[in-house]
Amino acid sequence: MNGKDDLQELEARFLAEIEKAGDERALEDIRVAALGKKGEISTRMKGLGKLPPEERKSMGQALNALKSRIAEAIAARREVLKQQALAARLEKERVDVTLPVRPEHKGSIHPVSHVWEEVVEIFADLGFSVAEGPHIETDWYNFEALNIPPEHPARQEHDTFYFHRKDDGTRMLLRTHTSPVQIRTMESTPPPIRIIAPGRTFRCDSDQTHTPMFHQVEALVIDEETHMGHLKWTLEEFCKAFFETDSVKMRFRASHFPFTEPSMEVDINCSWEGGQVKVGEGDDWLEILGSGMVHPNVIRAGGLDPERYQGYAFGIGLDRLAMLKYGIPDLRAFFEADLRWLRHYGFSFLQVPTLAGGLSA
């Protein structure tokens, strides 16, 4: 067993290594070398049993004292290293509060989302509720129940997104309009019915005014007394509220849709100034939607008796409404995720459309 002089030498060596330790990992290696189970001090303590009783007592006291001093030195050095690491981190992450404030990006509500809420707000005030349906539909709900014949061009693959055929030969598809919601509503809700069905629709088309995915809102009213006068009044009130004008002239042109009879295209008066359209003034006309009285075959497909019930329906493109109202020239920009475009045409999340406060205020 080495004497006390040897312990002083050992202590000096370990204290010097502790002082030189540059990080906590190096300090932990020194602790293990000195105080670990196989460390130098621990090894000396295990050899105490071989010493004479008198020497064993004094050496044991010396080793315990050395162990305590080494442990205290390690703890003190560890605290110093922690403070140094904290100071380095604070310096690295230092914020100069005298610098000008960095402009933060503000989120924007997409014009289509805003127009969607505008339309819902208007029709809610007119007594309509909102109905929804699935994006993936059957041929029955998307075509057959809507009185669209098998040879109709809309059923062709150049216009409709079809899925693979099932074992029974049928194919699901992405709905081409929100009209299937009308059938589902008639099946599940007894008249009187007064609903709008906003949502995404899909068609194989892409240019400046068409995209493969777009947004529509359709309206359906079914009861025993509704007639075309109600349809005309509803459309007039909607256009005045949406375009925020006191009056609007409307022109109904005969047309053909398989699911309505009679069917009408609806135009509103407008003027073109500086490349922008202004609704409710001028002598020009702008087509905005298709409408008509619900075809008896459609009422029958919805599980209702067309001899007892009648009603009207119309459909509007939400994207087209947004383009008209807010002067957006290209429909494709709606889906390009351009932040500069969205900051220009978008709305603050605080701009909640209300009839009392102004839809676009």
pLDDT band at 1 (very low <50, low <70, confident <90, very high): very low
Which residue bears the tokens 């605080």? 350
Beta strands in 136-259 (DSSP E): 136-137, 173-174, 193-202, 213-223, 250-257
Q: Give the pTM.
A: 0.67
117-126, 153-162, 319-328, 350-359: least confident range: 350-359
Q: Per residue in 42-92, pLDDT tens? A: 888 888 778 887 787 788 788 888 888 888 988 898 898 889 888 888 888
CB atoms within 10 A of CB 359: 21
pLDDT of 254 strictly over 60: yes
- Spatial distance between the Cα atoms of 143 and 294, rounded to a whole number of angstroms: 15
pLDDT of residue 360: 67
Structural tokens at position 258: 């398989």
Task: Give the range with max mean pLDDT: 17-21, 105-109, 208-212, 317-321.
Answer: 317-321
pLDDT of 358 strictly over 70: no
- Average pLDDT of span 201-230: 87
pLDDT of 336 strictly over 70: yes
Q: Per residue in 118-161, pLDDT tens? A: 999 999 999 999 999 999 999 999 999 999 988 887 777 778 89
**Comparing C-alpha atoms, which of 293, 292, 289 is closest to residue 268?**
289
Share of the chain above pLDDT 70, in %: 94
